[in-house]
Amino acid sequence: MKLVVFIVVFSKVCTVYGITVEDYKNLQKHLMTNYSNKVRPVKNQDHAVQVTASFHLSDINDVDAVQQQLVTTAYLSILWIDELLVWDQEITNIDRLYFKQKDIWTPDIVLKNGVKKFEELGGEVYYLEVFPNGEVHWMPYQVFESKCDMDITYFPFDTQVCDITFISWSFFKLEVNMMLPESGPPVYFYDFNENSVWGIESTGGRRSQSHIADSTVTFTLHLRRKPLYYVMNLILPVVLLGVISLLVFVIPADAGEKMSFAVTVFLSFAVFLSIISMQLPVNSENTSLLGVYLVFQMSIAVAIIIISAFQLRLHHRCEERKVGTFYRGIVNIERCLRCVKSCSDNNSKKKYNWRNDSYEPKVDYDDVSWKDVSSAIDFVCFWTMLFFGIIATTVLVVYMNNGIS
Amino acid sequence: MKLVVFIVVFSKVCTVYGITVEDYKNLQKHLMTNYSNKVRPVKNQDHAVQVTASFHLSDINDVDAVQQQLVTTAYLSILWIDELLVWDQEITNIDRLYFKQKDIWTPDIVLKNGVKKFEELGGEVYYLEVFPNGEVHWMPYQVFESKCDMDITYFPFDTQVCDITFISWSFFKLEVNMMLPESGPPVYFYDFNENSVWGIESTGGRRSQSHIADSTVTFTLHLRRKPLYYVMNLILPVVLLGVISLLVFVIPADAGEKMSFAVTVFLSFAVFLSIISMQLPVNSENTSLLGVYLVFQMSIAVAIIIISAFQLRLHHRCEERKVGTFYRGIVNIERCLRCVKSCSDNNSKKKYNWRNDSYEPKVDYDDVSWKDVSSAIDFVCFWTMLFFGIIATTVLVVYMNNGIS
Amino acid sequence: MKLVVFIVVFSKVCTVYGITVEDYKNLQKHLMTNYSNKVRPVKNQDHAVQVTASFHLSDINDVDAVQQQLVTTAYLSILWIDELLVWDQEITNIDRLYFKQKDIWTPDIVLKNGVKKFEELGGEVYYLEVFPNGEVHWMPYQVFESKCDMDITYFPFDTQVCDITFISWSFFKLEVNMMLPESGPPVYFYDFNENSVWGIESTGGRRSQSHIADSTVTFTLHLRRKPLYYVMNLILPVVLLGVISLLVFVIPADAGEKMSFAVTVFLSFAVFLSIISMQLPVNSENTSLLGVYLVFQMSIAVAIIIISAFQLRLHHRCEERKVGTFYRGIVNIERCLRCVKSCSDNNSKKKYNWRNDSYEPKVDYDDVSWKDVSSAIDFVCFWTMLFFGIIATTVLVVYMNNGIS
Amino acid sequence: MKLVVFIVVFSKVCTVYGITVEDYKNLQKHLMTNYSNKVRPVKNQDHAVQVTASFHLSDINDVDAVQQQLVTTAYLSILWIDELLVWDQEITNIDRLYFKQKDIWTPDIVLKNGVKKFEELGGEVYYLEVFPNGEVHWMPYQVFESKCDMDITYFPFDTQVCDITFISWSFFKLEVNMMLPESGPPVYFYDFNENSVWGIESTGGRRSQSHIADSTVTFTLHLRRKPLYYVMNLILPVVLLGVISLLVFVIPADAGEKMSFAVTVFLSFAVFLSIISMQLPVNSENTSLLGVYLVFQMSIAVAIIIISAFQLRLHHRCEERKVGTFYRGIVNIERCLRCVKSCSDNNSKKKYNWRNDSYEPKVDYDDVSWKDVSSAIDFVCFWTMLFFGIIATTVLVVYMNNGIS
Amino acid sequence: MKLVVFIVVFSKVCTVYGITVEDYKNLQKHLMTNYSNKVRPVKNQDHAVQVTASFHLSDINDVDAVQQQLVTTAYLSILWIDELLVWDQEITNIDRLYFKQKDIWTPDIVLKNGVKKFEELGGEVYYLEVFPNGEVHWMPYQVFESKCDMDITYFPFDTQVCDITFISWSFFKLEVNMMLPESGPPVYFYDFNENSVWGIESTGGRRSQSHIADSTVTFTLHLRRKPLYYVMNLILPVVLLGVISLLVFVIPADAGEKMSFAVTVFLSFAVFLSIISMQLPVNSENTSLLGVYLVFQMSIAVAIIIISAFQLRLHHRCEERKVGTFYRGIVNIERCLRCVKSCSDNNSKKKYNWRNDSYEPKVDYDDVSWKDVSSAIDFVCFWTMLFFGIIATTVLVVYMNNGIS
């Protein structure tokens, strides 16, 4: 009754010239009279407050694989009907009112999967827009630090699915019912700058389904890492190092640089590792393929150093010692393979053998010197390691591709 | 009416001796009576509050290419007319009043493109200056962390254009109308210290144009990076390393230092990379030309190592093996080029050939030893790589110049 | 009496249509009348308030062995009976009320073993749920930074037991009595993401036992570090480096690469150490076995360098100088050992000796050249160092296993 | 009038036994009655409040050349007369009152050249001391982060002059007049610990002069960096490296270590650079002399590598090729210089020449072998580079000295 | 009078059944009536409030030698008599009351030697315990960041004495008198976890003595660094490197690895320095002995490189050049020393000389070749440098011991 009386009185004043400040103040004061911001604003308290929320992404600040966090800047657009803030627009001519956030009831929405203490959304600076039918608009702009379970297996070609979940912490679903907007997508972009490392593939949203449970809405971001930087600064150097470490077998033992070359390559591995280890997340759960590849390459490099050292010892072995059958086998394998590969070489060798033949037909046995063994090891190991390296890189590429698609 | 009465009474007191504290307090109390800081201070609420803002830059704290942020310290000079805080200066003799920020209405201006939670401008410490005609001056001094989409392609010769946008978040343009000052530039400098890395080329400002949209003013800073530091600490070392890595082909194979030199140069690349990678932003969107150049230089270094290794193998190849036609071709190219270059050399060689001629005219074929091949590879590769290096560096310089102009 | 009167009046209104906002407001107002949030809410102040708390772990943010801190995100579920907030559910039809945290009494529970200033749990955003019998539910979601005395001896195979203790700081146990829930475990998981480095083995809880002491509840987390990452990035490289450093004795002194190889390996140790030292905690209390192992390996590497240097001097010693008896001893040991190992070698040597015999039967003494000494040192030291390395690694593995089980 | 009445009544009570709590409370209440902390406390509002401030330095927390900031911990001692807080000490016997900061008017002094948002000085914990004549003492203890334009040219022998400016932000000089204390220095030391890197040479203070301008006081600190640490950890290693890199020309080309030595020295430069670059500020404005010196040294090192490489090529050049006139020139220069230096050498050489003379008098031409050229280059370059190095170091020292004095 | 009346009425109610909530509320309300928390709670304001404080250390968070800070977590136990909060326990039966911190007067105690802005102790969460005689207990648990002038001369065997001083900032000693507890130590340990690097040797406390001065209490911690970690990770590697760098003189010049060994050792120094420089504080005031030792070792390494380079030049000097008298002197010294050392060697040499004698008795002069000079330099320098190294290390150890005791 009081409301009607008020409005009648009110409307008379209004019509004089537009809407005056006094009109606003009076309407505000009228609505605030007897209003409590601690009670859900539904006249029948058995009903739930229907709260609609959408997510307006403004910036991806950080995707932290080590802390498993996603940090976003965004504002939530939250709407609900406050049944206690209703007025007749036609009589008052006022189509909108603004209230300070702390003056009216707001749902206690918080970031459910955050890593910080719960903080109230919004703050002192916000005015909430209220329409004659009681609809309240609230648009708190915040930084959200949400947990995100990341799978770095396919790093740096990985895709991450991150949820940002909001919950009405104290109220049950029967009291405050969180919903996504009925039309339109749940996630919008607002003044969005593309992140320099992460692209957004798609977005989505969902709400908690059961009727009794907590009332939550979840916004989902499908993020894809842009691999260019990592390909250029991580993968390329490692592959190049892998190639270089094979060259140990190309350098002839006579050059006297085999070992120092091999160990300097290993040292370069160590230096690169110190760069890379700052960028790869500490994660014992799912090892990244790239990490496994790195360890594989390093093991190969160590194997190469070990082989080279023993090869060098053979190379400098006194010529008077007989070459064992195992080493002869290696030399034979090398000759055999070379034969297959380059027949011209083979011919010249045969000729050569033939020439030696003239002196001593059974010399085939004696013409294997320790130098030949060293050379054969070079040949065999180079191709073996090259083979393994190519296999490993191929496997890496294939798995990575699986990760992408 | 009340106002007039008040002022008459008031003026009598005033004339006694200057303006007393009581006069101030009374005027303040009078103006605050019935004042609500929650309603826009225009008598006709259909009108917009005209808010004029200018930006007074005090410091560029940080330009963060990784986080894509610009951090500035500045104060906003904000002016508007509060139609409810008007008094007659002649009667009261008071030409200025100060109010605490929280006592009167202030526009809810926030940094729109920030990366932090919205924060109210100003704070408890501020007094707002109010003039008799209702003009309010507000000068909040803050740190603004604004997003800035950076293009590091031309790093370290890059220019960045950064916007700092302020918005009246809750109100529409029809309610609170943000404007730039009518005369004078939008951006001033206040006690400004030149940043040691970034210079300011020019500044600008603009306001949102459409009538219905959000009400924003945008201040623009055109920043130019001062490249001296980066030229001395990034580009110079990389160019020098590129030059050094060419020397592998100058060192004679007999010296026995070719490979260890080559691989140590590569190791130096790795070490430099670890320094540089801390300074170059992680960015897969637009790769910096410098990054591409670095990768190119590293690839060249690797190519040099590979070539040297095979060259060394040729160098130590048993002299009895015949030199293939491919290698002969290289030697011929070298001789041909040398001929063009230094005719005196050519002559002496011809003489030499001629001398050999006496023994065996067709020896031209046989005098190509593996050592000659190795030497020819040195010659050919040195000039080829030098050529590529110069081309790449020239291309870099040309593109960088494009970036500057 | 007043309460009864009120409820009678109240119930009449309620029955009309559900529970209205007014009903709520009236009940709230009624309960708040004369309520003081500064007095423990038990009617007989000689009784203690029984507070039940359980821990709902949401995230392990950080386990910091350097600062000896455990950082967790969790919410506490706290329950107690507020005897002053009691109403008749049947009459009022209201089965639940919500109060702002600051409006009613809450226990002054704080994190006892934290490393920050005490902070009040919860905050402005929280509504506390109150039931007709006075039961209050409070669920503050916070980040807890608690001290945790860590034993890194078995790093990275270590297990840590961390306590998170809550205390009612001002009140004695006779006033506020903290308890664990009677049924169910004390620690729950809420929306828990497995940490990428630490797994949770088990959880527990206990309360302070004595009757007079402070009133505390302690939640215990048994954490186990997942070692995969550290095995791949710390232990594997160190073991590989240890293997490589042994190869110094494989490289023949004639190759001219012994020393440069040895010192480059040492340099790699230094580089690896710079990576590792960032990950191992600074701790002089209990040294990690891995740290001891690292120091041992480095000492071995230094020993190898020293031995190699002197060996090289012997190797290049003028042949005219006589070989001392000590060095002869080494050569004899080597020959003896080789004999045991490969009898075929032995035979060929015997033959060789026999051939020399013909010239001079007692030449056995003179055939030990300095080169032989150098070679013998290679042989003896390689196996000795290998032996020590294997022993050390085995001891490490055995101790680590003890740590695990 | 009221005041007098009050005091008469008041004094009667007081004389009974000392000053009671009630006396204090009554006087406080009396003074607070009608007091507004929002109006300047001068009876005639045309007068300015005279505010005297002095600076009591407690700690230099940080001098950040990168961010160009000075961070100090200090308290300001601020004094002014509050004409509204005056009482008769003789009557009341009370010689001092304490008020909470927020209860009385305080000038809105803020750090003008700070890099943070303006913050109110002081806080809730402060009591302000008020004397009977209205004198108020305020001593807020804060951390001040002020901008300081640093000139790192003479790093690490640099002297910096840093201003810490305080302003009464909202008021004009005619309203609040900031002053320095009339007697005594403007800057005091309070419990001051000498900083381990920066010493304070002198201090000063000044106030804004013009009558209309903003009212500021500026405290100035003249800081001198203590160079010992940097001499030992930056300059010494770089000078030593410079010396070492000269040794490339001492190592004979026959030793086969020239290039690997030269490139490892360059690598050491890279490693040192990675240490130094963490300590030198990123600054393109004024490059530090030390930075220029470093770049110079690195360029010298590169020049040495280039020369050595070509020298090595000459050294291994086939002896059959004739030595060109340019190279003969170098050899002659060397011989000439050596002649000047050591006549005994010259004599023995002459003898040698004379001996050759016997065979062929014109042999002077032929006795210049490529080895001699290589040796001559060693000699000439060593002294040339040493000369340049000494010049550069001298220039550095001279300039640095200029910086100091 | 009122109090007595109240208590009589009060006691009647109480005796019915224990103490009711109402009793508490009434007593609280009674005490708070007319209570002002802005006036010192002594009835005679000429008396001082006696405040007793003790320090209960819970954790040493950080001892920062660079920032010269000590960060501790502790609670202060503060006691004083509030003469205005007194009641009769026998009548009321209430033996304890709890008040919120902000409701009653608290001394304005702050950390005097902190590096942060003064902050009020305690906070909203604290209840203060008040006893019938007016005794108030306050136990604020905080993190204290206090300045501590550190002397790192004996690092890592250093002992630091750190003061944590609390002051009643606004009040004089005659108004608020800070005291230590009369019995018991001033510093207690509460739930203390031993720090992993710093042990506590002893603790102490003192108060300001003069009667007029500021009222302070100072708690002192005597901290001793546990050196194990630093010995293993800093000192051991540096000593080992020093040993390795001596080996340059052991490696024979013929091996062709002298220089590359020497320079790689220097490079290792650079790498170690990069690790160490992160751990040693930047301090130009008092240089740590360890830093001096490091610089000494590096200078030795450089000296070794220089000597080796010149030695190598001598070694490869043409044999036809005569050996100067200086070099002959060195050879003689070596021979002389060796003679003393190993007489057996001497004998064999004599024999050798004797044999040569037969050809040419005065050959003693001519048998000194450049190789001998090089070898003599090796011998002399090795022992000289070893001598210096041992002396330096001994001096270091002796000084360190002084530091400890």
Over residues C123-151, mean pLDDT = 93
User: Taking CA atoms, what residue in E is nearest to C82?
Assistant: E21
pLDDT confidence of residue E17: 56
pLDDT > 50? residue D6: no
Chains that touch B (3 or more CB pairs under 8 A): A, D
Residues E361 and E306 in one domain: yes
Over residues B339-353, mean pLDDT = 45
> How large a percentage of chain A has pLDDT more than 90?
42
Note whether residue A282 is domain-resident.
yes
Q: What is the pLDDT of residues E154-182, one digit of tens each?
A: 888 889 999 999 999 999 888 999 999 99
Give the Cα separation of A380 and A376 in Å (integer): 6
Q: What is the pLDDT of residues E321-335, one digit of tens each?
A: 778 888 888 888 888
Give the Cα separation of B399 and A282 in Å (integer): 39
Q: Residue E232: its chain C contacts at CB < 8 A?
A: 287, 291-292, 295
Note whether residue D18 is domain-resident.
no
Asked if E237 lies within 8 A of C273 by C-beta distance, the reply is: yes
Note whether residue D21 is domain-resident.
no
Residues C289 and C209 in one domain: no
Cβ B69 vs Cβ B145: under 8 Å: yes
Q: Residue B128: its chain D contacts at CB < 8 A?
A: 170
For A114, the 3-state DSSP assignment is strand
Note whether residue A85 is domain-resident.
yes
Which residues are paired to A218 by β-bridges? A165, A206
Cα of A276 to nearest chain B Cα, Å: 9
Give the Cα separation of D215 and D177 in Å (integer): 6
For D335, the 3-state DSSP assignment is helix
DSSP tag of D231: I
Q: What is the pLDDT of residues B47-80, one digit of tens each?
A: 999 999 999 999 999 898 878 899 999 999 999 9
Chains that touch A (3 or more CB pairs under 8 A): B, C
Would you mind telling me the total number of residues written for chain A in this entry? 405
pLDDT > 90? residue C194: no
pLDDT > 80? residue A261: yes
**Chain A interface, best mutation among B38, B108, B112, by max A CB count within 10 A:** B38
Q: What is the pLDDT of residues B1-44, one digit of tens each?
A: 444 444 444 444 444 457 888 888 999 999 999 899 889 999 98
Over residues A264-273, mean pLDDT = 85
Closest of A88, A58, A62 to residue A73, by C-alpha? A58
Q: Which residue in the set E254, E261, E271 is minimally distant from C259, CB to CB? A: E261
Q: What is the pLDDT of residues C222-274, one digit of tens each?
A: 999 998 888 888 888 888 989 999 999 999 988 888 898 999 999 888 887 77
Q: Residue E124: its chain C contacts at CB < 8 A?
A: 120
Kindly report the CATH number assigned to the domain that includes residue C161. Answer: 2.70.170.10
DSSP tag of D44: B
Question: CB-based burial of residue E298 (10 Å sphere; 0-12 exposed, 13-18 middle, 19+ buried)?
Answer: buried
Residues B106 and B202 in one domain: yes
**Tokens standing for residue A329:** 């086998």
Q: What is the pLDDT of residues C60-72, one digit of tens each?
A: 998 988 788 999 9
Residues B256 and B211 in one domain: no
Note whether residue A18 is domain-resident.
no
For D224, the 3-state DSSP assignment is strand
Give the Cα separation of D247 and D256 in Å (integer): 14
Note whether residue D11 is domain-resident.
no
pLDDT confidence of residue A40: 92
Residues E96 and E238 in one domain: no
pLDDT confidence of residue D390: 93
Q: What is the pLDDT of residues D223-252, one digit of tens each?
A: 999 988 888 888 888 889 899 999 999 999
Cβ A215 vs Cβ A169: under 8 Å: no
Q: What is the pLDDT of residues C4-18, one digit of tens each?
A: 444 444 444 444 457
Residues C167 and C305 in one domain: no
Note whether residue E9 is domain-resident.
no
Q: Which residue in the set B38, B298, B312 is minimally distant from A251, CB to CB? A: B312
Number of D–E residue contacts, CB under 8 Å: 187
Residues C303 and C371 in one domain: yes
DSSP tag of D234: I
Residues E113 and E246 in one domain: no
Number of domains in chain E: 2
Asked if A42 lies within 8 A of C21 by C-beta distance, the reply is: yes
Residues A334 and A320 in one domain: yes
Pairing status of strand E49-64 against strand E176-179: parallel
Closest of D386, D379, D384, D388 to residue D342, by C-alpha? D379
Q: Residue D259: its chain B contacts at CB < 8 A?
A: 251, 255, 257, 260-261
Q: What's the one-letter identity of residue E191?
A: D
Q: What is the pLDDT of residues E229-260, one digit of tens each?
A: 888 888 888 899 899 999 999 999 888 888 98
Give the Cα separation of E145 and D143 in Å (integer): 13
Q: Where among E226, E256, E288 does a domain terminate?
A: E226
> Between residues A340 and A243, which one has the greater pLDDT?
A243
- For chain D, the average pLDDT equals 84
Contacts of E34 (CB under 8 A, 6+ apart): none
pLDDT > 70? residue E131: yes
Give the Cα separation of D284 and D66 in Å (integer): 11
Give the Cα separation of C2 and C4 in Å (integer): 5
Note whether residue E4 is domain-resident.
no
Over residues B176-201, mean pLDDT = 90
DSSP tag of A278: T
Place of tokens 């032995």: C346
Percentages helix, strand, coil for chain D (3-state, rounded to 5) are 45, 25, 30
Residues B328 and B377 in one domain: yes
Reduced 3-state DSSP string for chain C: CHHHHHHHHHHHHHCCCCCEHHHHHHHHHHHHCCCCCCCCCCCECCCCEEEEEEEEEEEEEEEECCCCEEEEEEEEEEEEECCCCCCCHHHHCCCCEEEEHHHCCCCCEEECCECCCCCCCCCCCCEEEECCCCEEEECCEEEEEEECCCCCCCCCCCEEEEEEEEEEEEEECCCEEEECCCCCCCEEECCCCCCCCEEEEEEEEEECCCCCCEEEEEEEEEEEECCHHHHHHHHHHHHHHHHHHHHHHCCCHHHCCHHHHHHHHHHHHHHHHHHHCCCCCCCCCCCCHHHHHHHHHHHHHHHHHHHHHHHHHHHCCCCCCCCCHHHHHHHHHHHHHHHHHCHHHHHHHHHHHHHHHHHCHHHHHCCCCHHHHHHHHHHHHHHHHHHHHHHHHHHHHHHHHHHHC
Percentages helix, strand, coil for chain B (3-state, rounded to 5) are 45, 25, 30
Asked if E20 lies within 8 A of C45 by C-beta distance, the reply is: yes
Q: Residue E312: its chain D contacts at CB < 8 A?
A: 250-252, 255, 257
> Between residues A380 and B366, which one has the greater pLDDT?
A380
Q: What is the pLDDT of residues A331-350, one digit of tens each?
A: 888 888 876 544 344 444 44
pLDDT confidence of residue E71: 94
Cα of A213 to nearest chain C Cα, Å: 14
Q: Where among B180, B210, B226 does a domain terminate?
A: B226
* Residue-range definition of the domain harbouring residue C389: 229-404
Cβ B189 vs Cβ B202: under 8 Å: no
What angle, 0 to 180 degrees and rounded to 10, lies between the N-to-C axes of helices C325-341 and C343-359? Answer: 130
Q: Residue A99: its chain B contacts at CB < 8 A?
A: 38
- The helix (H) or strand (E) run that includes residue D258 is helix D258-276
ipTM above 0.85, yes or no: no
For D162, the 3-state DSSP assignment is strand
Poorest-confidence range of B102-106, B353-357, D336-340?
B353-357
Cα of D63 to nearest chain B Cα, Å: 15
Residues D281 and D192 in one domain: no
Q: What is the pLDDT of residues D387-404, one digit of tens each?
A: 999 999 999 888 888 776
pLDDT > 80? residue E364: no
Q: What is the pLDDT of residues D34-71, one digit of tens each?
A: 899 889 999 988 899 999 999 999 999 989 887 889 99
Q: Where among E193, E226, E259 does a domain terminate?
A: E226
Give the Cα separation of D61 and D197 in Å (integer): 11
pLDDT confidence of residue E405: 66
Give the Cα separation of D288 and D282 in Å (integer): 10
Residues E97 and E180 in one domain: yes
